[in-house]
Amino acid sequence: MTALLLASGSSRRKELLDQIGVHYQSASMDIDESVLVNETPSDYVFRLAKEKAQAGIAVHPDMIVLAADTSVVVAGNILGKPDNAPMAHEMLRQLSGKTHQVLTGIAVAQRIQGETNVEAQVVVTNVSFSVLTDLQIELYIKTGEPMDKAGAYGIQGKAALFVERIQGSYSNVVGLPLAETGKLLQRFDVPVWLG
Name the residues annotated as catalytic: 69
Q: How many residues does the chain have?
A: 195
**Residue 19 to residue 192: CA distance in whole angstroms:** 9
- Give how far the C-alpha of residue 40 lies from the chain's centroid of Cα atoms, to the nearest Å: 16
| CB-CB neighbours of 138 under 10 Å | 13
**Is the C-alpha dihedral spanning 137, 100, 126, 4 positive or negative?**
negative
| CB-CB neighbours of 124 under 10 Å | 17
**Is the C-alpha dihedral spanning 56, 173, 167, 190 positive or negative?**
positive
